[in-house]
Amino acid sequence: MTTKNKRQALRQALLLGLFSMLGPFTIDMYLPAFPEIVKQFDTTASGVQLSLTACLLGLGIGQLVMGPLSDVHGRRRPLLVSMTLYVAASLGCALSPHIGLLIACRFVQGFAASAGIVISRAITRDLYHGHELTRFFSLLLLVGNLGPLAAPVAGSGVLSFSSWIGVFVVLSLLGTYLWTVTKWRLQETLPVERRSPANIRLQLRNYGVLLRDRHFVGYMLTQGIMIAGIFAYVSGTPFIYQNIYGASPTVFALLFGSNGISLMIGSQIVGRAAHRVPERVFLLFGLCLALASSVVVLAVALFHGPLMALVIPLFLFVASIGMTSTAAFPLAMESQAHVAGSAAALLGVIQFLLGAVVSPLVGIAGENTAVPLGVIILSTSIAAMLAYFLLVRKSSRAEPKATAYKEHKTADC
């Protein structure tokens, strides 16, 4: 990649990274306010975590809608509509008089934010392929992963002079800014001749074809299950750090934000070495690192270890997700240029749906134990490794035999 192309790629990554950051900001920015929201609405930790679950469901389901829509109508128009809806939902969260309405508005907010995630990734596939896709996706993650790093810190900053309501007002302003960026800065990357027809049956058939692709499903589940583990971490650490270890909202934000750095480190290792080391090697290494670090997290939780004994393996666990996500995405997307929006949607929806399932489970034993978090991230690490070996590695080993058999039969004829 030439210097000029590198500068162009960086500008594209910065622009698309803004939309990738919308999801983390929507998820993470209000996390330091969890204890305050519990008191405000006189509810429980699991009750507030349901608002996170609703947001994750919206982020997942929304991608199933926005991905195909972007294949039909291009990338810009669905983004403009979604950012308008995002602003309205954010203001609805700020004005919610009870936890039920907050949960409903969080679903709509997540649904709208999903467009930023899935369409930015579809645009990435529009522009790049092969190792260039891996390198650009790692660059996109470098920018996008500033969201988990900055969001809780920004939320803590807002809480220092406002209530949790101020967090959602700020998110509405962020949505307004992204609408402006879409309108005046974002260029269309999907020309009319490459768009899919507006046919629901065809879109459903595209999903069916993708779900019958064993390799695609293997990478999708491996990546999705791993990221479900990080959602358990997102849901559980506000209470674990603040209630169990007595961390202030500011200290929590710093500890939580530090794992944004580990996510960036993991993704950049893969991106910078993609032309020398196969993506599958990094994927397998990331899975092994996740398994080892989650075992340590569970041990620390069971024996009530000190805070740093918990923070360090969680740092490594999140880094492993940076590696697996960066490696799995291009492997899954490489042969899906004709349905990039739908493929990106499936890759996104599985992680958010699984995240929505595991998030409330972290608080199932109450606010004063970290054991459920340890159990959940260990379970996701094991499940992701099984998905990889059973669906990707097993079928990859069978392919040469099947090809040889086919060639042998052709020769006989």
The tokens describing 315, both together, are: 């740092």
Please give the single-letter amino acid code of residue 388.
Y
Biggest alpha carbon–alpha carbon distance for the chain: 79
Tell the residue number behind the tokens 């790049």, with chain if given: 128
Distance of alpha carbon 30 from alpha carbon 10, whole angstroms:
29
**pLDDT given for residue 398 in this prediction:** 52
Q: How far is CA 238 from the centre of its chain?
A: 19
Give domain 13-186+208-397's CATH superfamily. Answer: MFS general substrate transporter like domains (1.20.1250.20)
List Cα–Cα distances, 209 to 137, 261, 338, 341, in angstroms. Answer: 24, 37, 12, 14
Residue 409 has pLDDT above 80, yes or no: no
Per cent of the chain over pLDDT 70 is 88
CA distance 376 to 133: 32
Task: Name residue 268's amino acid.
Answer: Q
Question: What pLDDT is recorded for position 284?
Answer: 93
Single-letter amino acid code for the residue at 289: L
Give the C-alpha separation, 310 to 301, whole Å. 8
Q: Are 382 and 389 in contact (CB under 8 A)?
A: no
Q: Summarize pLDDT for 354-406 with one digit per residue, the tens.
A: 877 887 777 666 667 788 888 999 999 999 999 999 988 766 655 544 433 33
Q: What are the pLDDT digits (tens) for 98-138?
A: 888 999 999 999 999 999 888 888 888 777 777 777 777 77
Rounded distance, CA 20 to CA 42, Å?
Answer: 33
Report domain extents, the chain.
13-186+208-397
